[in-house]
Amino acid sequence: MKKPPIISFEFFPPKTAEGIKILYATAKELSGLNPDFFSVTFGAGGSTREGTLETVTWLQQNTTISVAPHLACVGLTRAELAEIIQKYQTLGIKRLVALRGDLPSGMGQSGELRFASHLVSLIRERTQDHFHIEVAAYPEIHPQAKNAMDDLDNLKRKADAGANSAITQYFFNPDAYFYFLEECTKQCINIPIVPGIMPITHFDKLIRFSDMCGAEVPRWIRKRLENYGDDATSLQAFGLEIVYKLCEALIKGGAPGLHFYTLNHAPGSINLIKLLNLYP
């Protein structure tokens, strides 16, 4: 019998009282979908370190969903990273998302661990097999990679260091994902690779976020979204159709799950889950 797809939702630590209120309501609503886990982002250099810990702790105490904190090694020492890893182990966290992270503006030091593969090795060294370790993957190639093969080599180093599975940057072209899987197989990268999904609900936010992280919004999608202007209802209906068809193609093609970038809002993800008939 085919296993149901793994479903997970990503949050970021809010910085305002209103943001905290919105996140907590979102988490409660998405808990009703019984996802496999929630993940919580971590600002590179520890810029949201306390916010990540507070959000993780609240989710643990107020939902029944497993929580996977992100941990980025850039800008932090081995000792600082080991302290955070130990803290999460003590809290009973069973899953981590291990990342390199981007060096924050004005920070001169990249830290003692230069790559995410080094962080994976540190987690394994300190905790053996306590954590299920997720890492990042890039079907459309990491914006700072020298080339496609360099990017694949980086993913292989993370897998060889002990990563259990990977979550991709979001994309809107399923062919990019399936071609990427073929290339991973050729390089003997055999960990499950879950596609990241970005619901389309706001044009400006999508473009700003995509430009920042190097995700490609195909020109035909961008132009159609531009055309809707202030007509939010039509824009969201079009966005839902596009992302639903993407998710449907990914699941039919054998993707092991879907990881939703929620931006701390529930409706976009819930609408997709319902259309995909993945509602519990």
* Catalytic positions: 10
- Angle ∠(273,274,277) on CA atoms, nearest 5: 85
List, in order, residues 6 or more apart from 25 with CB less than 8 Å away. Answer: 266
Whether residue 108 contacts residue 80, with contact meaning beta carbons closer than 8 Å, is answered with: no
C-alpha 93: how far from its chain's center?
Answer: 17
Give the burial string for 212-233 (b: 16+ CB within 10 Å, else e).
Answer: eeebbbeeebbebbeebeeeee
- Mapping DSSP to helix (H, G, I), strand (E, B) and coil, where does residue 278 land? coil
**Rounded-to-integer distance, Cα 35 and Cα 271, Å:** 15
- Which residues is 258 bridged to in the sheet? 7
Euclidean distance between CA atoms 51 and 263, whole angstroms? 15
**Tokens standing for residue 61:** 């105490």
Residue 185 amino acid letter: T
C-alpha distances in angstroms, 134 versus 21, 92, 193, 223, 224?
A: 28, 17, 9, 34, 34
